[in-house]
Structure 1
Amino acid sequence: MPQTARILVIEDDAHIRRLLRAALQRAGHEVTEAGSAREGLSLADIEKPEVVLLDLGLPDRDGLELIQPIKQRSGATVLVVSARDDTAEKVAALDLSADDYVTKPFDTEEVLARVRTALRHRLSGNGEQDRIDAGNIRIDLAHRRVTRDGDEVHLTPKEYGILAELARRPDRVISHAQLLKAVWGPAHEDRVDYLRIAVRGLRQKLEQDTSRPRLIVNELAVGYRLLARPGAEGT
């Protein structure tokens, strides 16, 4: 049976709010709406939603400023749904701890799929598990061990570090800066070339076809995502 949840939609466009409400309610969720940042923060306090769909272009405050307060007040998973498609905006949202980013115009089925992923991760402890299975790949974080079809795969420390960061939050985009800071340290947050080389090595060891990666996928100019259920295209 699909998991249902309390979901808060913070969006100033009434038409989009109605569209999202209808889709979410059809999926069985309880939906609350807010048309401004002020109302959204108030409802986050009162309703304690599990998931918040957040627009960035709000009339009284930039939505980016709401991400951390929402997470601190309610512990909700924050999915940004915005017309801003600039790479810098996406990176800024993710670096502020947004859990995902959907660009308008959107397909409601995609939004529902992202919500299902968010709820699955909340159910399993915010996605932080000791062992993650992704197709024929098993990542054992407790023992720092990676296997492919049951055979151990030997990774460099940097390759393992990247894979572990992605595995702690599967199906979510982790920005280049976040990965570089975690694996190389704060002084190397802009060395995307380091990251690309290490990811290339990982793909050679883990992917069936490195020209069409289906495990570690690229979000162009933003970051990488580990697909816990490989099958989507990525480059």
Structure 2
Amino acid sequence: MQSKILIIEDDHAITHLLDVALTLDYYNVTTAENATQAHFKIQIDKPDVILLDLGLPDKDGLCLISEIRQHTDIPIIVISARQEEQTIIQALDNGANDYMTKPFNVDELRARIRVIERIAKSHQETNIVFTNGLLSIDFGSKSVVINNQEVHLTPNEFSLLELLSNHKGKVLTYEMILKRIYGYVNKTEMPSLRVHMTSLRQKLSQCHEDAKDIIKTHPRIGYQMLQWKEK
């Protein structure tokens, strides 16, 4: 079955370029020129991947990401001319899975789409519940529960927690985490990774104060999930 990709972009030249390139790769491509059309296409077409420009005529793309995340976890790759670090961090924190700046390389975009597809496929094939003390993670439904309270995470926060739990007790380097979460190693993504980790810890500790201690930081090295220890 062909994967479905929704392009949300008001620049017709870029939309045409992406449409032609991805159709040649046997993707089923649909398009939207604004946020209103995007919501309709997401509901009707149920795409597998969304390519999103932030500069839409009727709504800022950062707001649209948050709105999409309220009802679906469809992977989102932002393709934008905005190169400010804070904008990139905000997009990822709002729920985007990846971020590319314009001008972009089509072959690199194809590779990033394939990475997201592999991650999505591995999640679909996984139906295992991980437990660590009062922490419970259902990889199939992507749900996290601590002390019988559901923890609402962004896609990248969940991916980070999932990665650490799959390697419980092992120290994962920053490079390894960047590669697994974003699909590539780029030190410029470190601020974003730290933002996700800070937010993840805060959300876990809101359910139980001991939860903040299950993820240990190894300065200049990486992160490690420890065994839950109640105090």
With normalisation by structure 2, the TM-score equals 0.63
Q: Provide the residue aligned with 1:169 in structure 2.
A: 181
Whole-angstrom CA distance in 2 between matches of 1:166 and 1:141: 16
Q: Which runs of 5+ in 1 are unaligned?
A: 131-138, 147-154, 188-196, 204-235
1:184-209 deviation digits (Å, cap 9, x = unpaired): 7899xxxxxxxxx8352349xxxxxx
Relative distance call for 1:181 and 1:106 in structure 2 (3 A) is same
Return the offset for 1:42: 0.9
Among 106, 112, 115, which residue is 1:114 paired with?
Answer: 112
Return the offset for 1:73: 3.7
Relative distance call for 1:184 and 1:71 in structure 2 (3 A) is closer
The amino acid that maps onto 1:81 is I
Q: Provide the residue aligned with 1:84 in structure 2.
A: 82
Q: Aligned to 2:218, what secondary structure does the other structure show?
A: helix
Q: Provide the residue aligned with 1:64 in structure 2.
A: 62
Whole-angstrom CA distance in 2 between matches of 1:119 and 1:93: 20
User: Are 2:198 and 1:180 aligned?
Assistant: yes
Q: Percent identity?
A: 34
| Conserved 8 A contact 1:12-1:35 | yes
Whole-angstrom CA distance in 2 between matches of 1:26 and 1:167: 27
Q: Provide the residue aligned with 1:98 in structure 2.
A: 96
Relative distance call for 1:140 and 1:74 in structure 2 (3 A) is closer
User: How many residues are aligned here?
Assistant: 173
Return the offset for 1:41: 1.1
1:10-49 correspondence to structure 2 within 5 Å: 10-49=8-47
Runs of 4+ in 1 over 4 A off after TM superposition: 126-130, 162-168, 183-187
Relative distance call for 1:128 and 1:169 in structure 2 (3 A) is farther
User: Are 2:188 and 1:141 aligned?
Assistant: no
Return the offset for 1:141: 3.1
1:24-50 deviation digits (Å, cap 9, x = unpaired): 111110000111111111111110101
Q: Aligned to 2:221, what secondary structure does the other structure show?
A: helix
Whole-angstrom CA distance in 2 between matches of 1:57 and 1:199: 37
Return the offset for 1:170: 5.8
User: Are 2:226 and 1:201 aligned?
Assistant: no
| Conserved 8 A contact 2:51-2:77 | yes
Whole-angstrom CA distance in 1 between matches of 2:94 and 2:108: 22
Whole-angstrom CA distance in 1 between matches of 2:193 and 2:126: 18
| Conserved 8 A contact 1:78-1:99 | yes
Calculate the aligned-residue CA RMSD, in Å. 3.6
Q: Provide the residue aligned with 1:54 in structure 2.
A: 52
Return the offset for 1:183: 4.6
With normalisation by structure 1, the TM-score equals 0.62
